[in-house]
Structure 1
Amino acid sequence: MSELSNIKSQALTERVEERLFAYILDNHLKVGAKLPNEHELAAHFEVSRGTVREAVKLLVSRGVLRVKHGSGTYVASLFPLHANPLGLDAVEDKLQLALDLTDVRLMLEPTIAALAAQNRTDEEVEQLAEYCDAVREKIEAGEDYLIEDMRFHWYLAKCSHNMVVEPLMPIIDAAVISIANITRKELLTMTIDTHKEILDAVRDRDPQAARSAMSVHLDTNRIFIRQTKTAR
């Protein structure tokens, strides 16, 4: 197989991996749920069984799926990366941890958003819009939106097309979880508005606006966390 064919095959596998992860979330599959068999998934995504098999392997490596030989493929986690990659579960001061994690996000995510605005494809920005809408719909329905929030930030990072960003996603995922546990019942309108501003900047291919919108999004979270910490 030529080098170009290898690249195309890898890209297709990664797209199916994304679609399979979205399928799990969109169908509200719980941990322990069994996926359709390889043949059914191949028909659903209109790809070969080999491509599905490779996509499943990627999600297995990220802890999302577990293959039980002779039984099938099962959902192992609803998060594409480990929820505690930094080993910070034992930290007692959760508010200070959230502040420190927000500082790390401020170091990373404004630049990631700028890269996404610069490098995204038309197909990717439409998918990002769907994830943005999913957060808004959950909030407006009064439902927990943590998974949708993580999907938005995770996919924004993928839109950056920077090979070093993906290994950094465990840090961002851990930060999203920690911060959301404090702010997600309070900063609802802000979350909808700033996510939309980030999306609009990415759609407009405006890196500076994307950087600014992400900074505002994170700064607002940081201010709220600091105020909460001060009040205690």
Structure 2
Amino acid sequence: MGEYLFETVKDKEVPLAEQVAEQIRQLIIDRQLTHGEKLPNEFELAQQLNVGRGTVREAVKLLVARNVLEIRRGRGTFVARHTGVVNDPLGFAYMPDQLRLAHELLDIRLIMEPWVASLAAQHATEEDVAELRALCREIEDLIHAGENHLLRDEALHVRIAGCTQNRVVPKLLPVIAYSVQLFGSLNDQRIYQETIDTHRQIVDAIAAHDPETAREAMYRHLAGNLAAITEQDQLHAQEEASPSGPI
């Protein structure tokens, strides 16, 4: 990277660390840097911005907190995955009654994700399809081994969103990601085979570039999830209504 990538920071009304953070953020935009690309080291950034290394360090901390950058110990500072999207930006973890929240998130996903799958079927590349199939296999292997598959399940839905080539769709991912994790934590193994089957159907439809079948397969997948959550909700209500309380 060249010596004059950044403007000298001068605005005395804005904290210096914030100015440096903004310059780094602008660099990422201007250079179209993506996940995993490395930034200059702390010393180089301090020289180019004409500020102290402590200020650079503070600016980097701000950007790490905002999920713009990530620090890999011993390797340097890199552009973060899902740049600028912080964990749980909508505060779902602090909402009471997580079972009700799981139901409500699936209501939203039933509207949104079938369209996402349809769009993915229109734009997915051969490389996209290969990655989707690999994720399906990983999920199936983890389920059959009795291991936690939720991170790979989340990754599959995230990858489908990426296939759309629509820059806005990935910004909707917090709804999808939190829902996948929450649903998995509340559910049991009864729906696992349905998960395997409907995942395959979704990916097969995307691979065939069949938007309507992809839409229908995603709807079936989420409707099955919603049915399972509804059953859990009903059982919970029965337990609460029982004279002896929860069993």
TM over 0.5: yes
Structure 1 gap segments, 5+ residues each: 1-8, 21-51
- For each residue in 1:3-24, what CA deviation from the matched residue of structure 2 results, as whole angstroms up to 9, or x when unmatched? xxxxxx85xx64xx3xx6xxxx
Aligned residue for 2:38?
53
Question: Is 1:219 paired with 2:227?
Answer: no
> How many aligned positions are there?
183
Q: For each residue in 1:140-164, what CA deviation from the matched residue of structure 2 results, as whole angstroms up to 9, or x when unmatched? A: 1110001100110000000011111
> What is the CA distance between 1:175 and its match in structure 2?
1.4
Other structure's SS at 1:223 match: helix
Q: Structure 1 CA distance, aligned partners of 2:232 and 2:196?
A: 21
1:72 aligns with 2:55: no
Structure 1 runs of 4+ aligned residues shifted over 4 Å read 59-62, 77-81
2:132 to 123, 128, 148: 128
Partner in structure 2 of residue 153 of structure 1:
157
Q: Aligned ranges for residues 190-201 of structure 1 at < 5 Å?
A: 190-201=194-205
1:94 shift after superposition: 1.3
Q: Which residue of 1 aligns with 2:57?
A: none
> What residue number does 2:99 align with?
95
Displacement of 1:139 after TM fit?
0.5
Task: Provide the C-alpha distance between the structure 1 equivalents of 2:69 and 2:188, rounded to a whole number of angstroms.
Answer: 27
CA distance in 2, matches of 1:74, 1:225: 41
Shift of the 138–122 alpha-carbon distance from structure 1 to 2, 3 Å rule, reads: same
| Higher Cα Rg, which structure | 2
**TM-score with structure 1 setting the length:** 0.70
Q: For residue 144 of structure 1, give the secondary structure of its aligned residue in structure 2.
A: coil
For the residue of structure 2 that corresponds to 1:66, the secondary structure is strand
Which residue type is aligned with residue 117 of structure 1?
Answer: A
Instruction: Tell me: CA distance 1:159–1:168, structure 2 relative to 1, closer, same or farther (3 Å).
Output: same
Identity %: 35
Kindly indicate whether the alpha-carbon contact (under 8 Å) linking 2:38 and 2:77 is maintained by their aligned counterparts in 1: no
The structural deviation recorded for 1:177 is 1.4
Equivalent position SS for 1:67: strand
Q: TM-score, normalised by structure 2?
A: 0.66
Tell me how large the CA RMSD over aligned residues is: 3.1
Which structure has more RCO (C-alpha within 8 Å, separation ≥ 6)? 1
